[in-house]
Amino acid sequence: MGRPLYLDYHATTPVDPRVLERMLPYFVERFGNPSSRNHAFGWEAAEAVEQARAQVARLIGAHHREVIFTSGATESNNLAIKGVARSLASQGRHLVTVVTEHPSVLDSCRALEHEGWRVTWLGVRGDGLVDLDVFEASLASDTVLVSVMAANNEIGVLQPLARVVELAHARGVLVHTDASQAVGKVPFDVHDLGVDLASFTAHKMYGPKGVGALFVTRKPRAVEVSPILHGGGQERGMRPGTLSVPGIVGLGVGAEIAGQVLAEEAARLGRLRDRLLDGLQSSLAGVTVNGSMAHRLPQNLNVSFADIEGEALGPALGDLAVSSGSACATGHFTPSHVLTAIGLDADLARSSLRFGVGRWTTDEDIDEAVARVTDVIRGLRRLRAEVL
Ligand SMILES: Cc1ncc(COP(=O)(O)O)c(C=O)c1O
């Protein structure tokens, strides 16, 4: 055990102190409800919300009226997929998505499948990317929506979204993307890409948890999203409920800072990520990278270690905070659906680690992580050799 070392920035990020500072007045002093139209408390809160909307819109190249605030990317994904499917049900009941998506996309599609929609679940190539020919062939005359993530949360691979959009739009099909792991980390411009809907969340870009947004395009024509919650008419009727003003302010400031530092930060973090990979591969044999290195978030590394018992890996890492490639559900270690989809066998999937570097990661952190992981892997290999 050493000092706690956080290299799990894909799971969540700490709130940037500059973000917190701008949020604080909206808890106690400026606590108004932005829907209160009759007094200054409400006006002040509404002004803060609209400023945040403009900050978020600027980061993704959208118009401010195209940004709908939600409770996070899970809700944005649910709203986009169920909301569009329901509003277009009379035009067709077929959706296309990818097996490596986040559970909030997969389960939203599954819920629609239970209600009678047809869903095509696309596999991916060994590098984690969608095969565009297979994608094109999946589009049918009754397809109304495709949902393909921008960046994968486990292996960090960047899907060829611009091409996905071109192929889908040529058939008149709308495109939603879960951009939770891309926005704020790599350039992401909704109009350059041409996506119709995009989900993202504050807590992956140094903002608070429990707040996110859905981009819903108004051009060339406004996309209709049926609400999944019903109530007051907030967010143009698409997402009723009193807005979390401090959270939204935090999302806005997080987006503003991300826009300012993105290029420099991505370059620095890419260098740290490469240092981590070099360190691991030069001190250990049998370290393989999962997913494309060429089409990948600079902040992400996902590697498998040969010849270890994967179940023992997570607990052995102690105070090194990273994610492992299996989730323990009811006593069984289920290998990650993403690693399985790129062709890893259960053993290699279980013996994988996801590292995410972020704003406060230093060279020293990387060197220390390499040393700790090397020790742990060597120990597990020795143990295994003794048992065999
Ligand atoms: C790709 C992706 N989509 C969706 C989510 C869910 O986001 P939230 O925690 O804001 O609901 C996450 C975060 O875990 C994610 O990584």
Calculate how far, in angstroms, residue 234's C-alpha sits from the geometric centre of ligand 1.
23
Residues 274 and 167 in one domain: no
Confidence at 259, pLDDT banded by 50, 70, 90: very high
Start-to-end CA span in the chain (Å): 28
Residues 214 and 332 in one domain: no
Residues 249 and 279 in one domain: no
Q: Which of 328, 378, 382, 384 is the catalytic position?
A: 328
**pTM, 2 dp:** 0.97
Ligand 1, atom 16, residue with closest C-alpha = 153
Ligand 1 pocket residue status of 304, Cβ below 6 Å: no
Residues 224 and 312 in one domain: no
Give pLDDT, residue 221. Answer: 86
Residues 274 and 213 in one domain: no
Largest CA distance in the chain: 75
Confidence at 334, pLDDT banded by 50, 70, 90: confident
Q: Please choose, from the candidates 71, 74, 93, the residue with its C-alpha nearest in 3D space to the C-alpha of residue 84.
A: 93
Ligand 1 pocket residue status of 72, Cβ below 6 Å: yes
Give pLDDT, residue 332. Answer: 61
Ligand 1 pocket residue status of 71, Cβ below 6 Å: no
Ligand 1 pocket residue status of 15, Cβ below 6 Å: no
The answer to whether 125 and 118 have CB atoms below 8 angstroms apart is no
Residue 304, φ and ψ in degrees, nearest 5: -110, 150
pLDDT single digits (tens) 370-384? 999 999 999 999 998
Residues 160 and 31 in one domain: yes
Q: Catalytic: 109?
A: no
Residues 219 and 269 in one domain: no
Give the end of a domain, one of 209, 236, 257: 257
Calculate how far, in angstroms, residue 38's C-alpha sits from the geometric centre of ligand 1.
37
Ligand 1, atom 7, residue with closest C-alpha = 73
Domain of residue 268 covers 5-12+262-387
The answer to whether 316 and 375 have CB atoms below 8 angstroms apart is no
pLDDT single digits (tens) 160-195? 999 999 999 999 999 999 999 999 999 999 999 999
Give pLDDT, residue 138. Answer: 98
Ligand 1 pocket residue status of 212, Cβ below 6 Å: yes
Give the end of a domain, one of 225, 257, 289: 257
The answer to whether 270 and 358 have CB atoms below 8 angstroms apart is no
Residues 204 and 73 in one domain: yes
* Domain CATH for 338: 3.90.1150.10
Residues 190 and 271 in one domain: no
Could you tell me what percent of the chain has a pLDDT over 90? 93
The answer to whether 355 and 322 have CB atoms below 8 angstroms apart is yes
Q: Which of 71, 78, 104, 159 is the pocket-test mutation for ligand 1 (most atoms within 8 Å of CB)?
A: 104
Q: Please choose, from the candidates 373, 232, 385, 255, the residue with its C-alpha nearest in 3D space to the C-alpha of residue 305.
A: 373
Residues 335 and 197 in one domain: no
* Domain CATH for 235: 3.40.640.10
**Residue 231: burial class (beta carbons within 10 Å; 0-12, 13-18, 19+):** exposed
What value does the mean pLDDT of the chain take? 96
Residues 241 and 288 in one domain: no
Ligand 1 pocket residue status of 74, Cβ below 6 Å: yes
pLDDT single digits (tens) 192-210? 999 999 999 999 999 999 9
| For residue 1, pLDDT beyond 60 | no
Closest atom of ligand 1 to 204 CA is: 13
When divided into structural domains, the chain yields a total of: 2
Give pLDDT, residue 2. Answer: 72
DSSP secondary-structure letter at 100? T
Give the end of a domain, one of 257, 279, 303: 257
Tokens (6 digits) for 119: 């869903």
